[in-house]
Structure 1
Amino acid sequence: MPISTAPASVDYERVHMRLGLILEEVGELVGAVYGTRAAAALDEVASRLREYDEGERDVVEAADALADLTYVVYGMALESGISLPRVLAEVQASNMSKLDENGRPIYREDGKVLKGPGFFPPNVARALEQPLDASAPTDA
């Protein structure tokens, strides 16, 4: 994954891949909360967004939107009694299991990391077993 050391506009193909991944996860959340029909409706709209790309990138607005997304996601997790740091630890462990035999990521042609031979899914249920400590919202 390329990492920029200063705010910059994301490469054309990478921005589509990254936004696609964000929308894919939003679709999973919509499916979990509203059901499969709602998720399918969102997926249909999301699949057409690239057609409307005007080619302009505003890094300040993008940074603000990413921060706002993070903020509201944490808010929903807290209201749902979910310790997001615990769930993130499970997801991180799973993501690191996607590496190949040499400890390197396996990339799809669009840059998405594929599952390696040692892949295991995140154990989100385990992360949810301990109740959230409401006195410590950064509960880990």
Structure 2
Amino acid sequence: MPEYREPSCLRDVAAFHRLFKAPVVGSPAIPDAKRCALRVELLQEELNELKEAISQNDLVEVADALADIQYVLAGAVHEFGLGTRFADLFAEVQRSNMSKACATREEAEATVAHYAAKDQPARIEECDGQYLVYRTADNK
């Protein structure tokens, strides 16, 4: 697996926001409706660009769109006052997501049974000594 360098996006975008007098809020808060709408519009614009780049099979534009999404997302993190807490928030999401891997086949089979009881067929895949359960309908 390749080594990944951690981007400095939160720090870099904070510098950009300060320079251009855009909000860098120090504690968690919901911005006013106009700023919230702007944040959602900016993210949607970049998602639309990603969708278009994918449809054109244009890897350069895909890369550009992904970098833009990261940049706009970092701006939203700052505007919602989550910049100093975001590493912890992300770590918790990572912990939660990784906990979805089952340690034993029995645990995985119990998970499959749980989905089956909800009329959601699922399958088990073994990977690196852990058991991953995927719903058949959406492969999630």
- Tell me the TM-score normalised to structure 1 length: 0.38
- Tell me the TM-score normalised to structure 2 length: 0.38
Larger radius of gyration: 2
Q: Which has the higher strand share?
A: 2
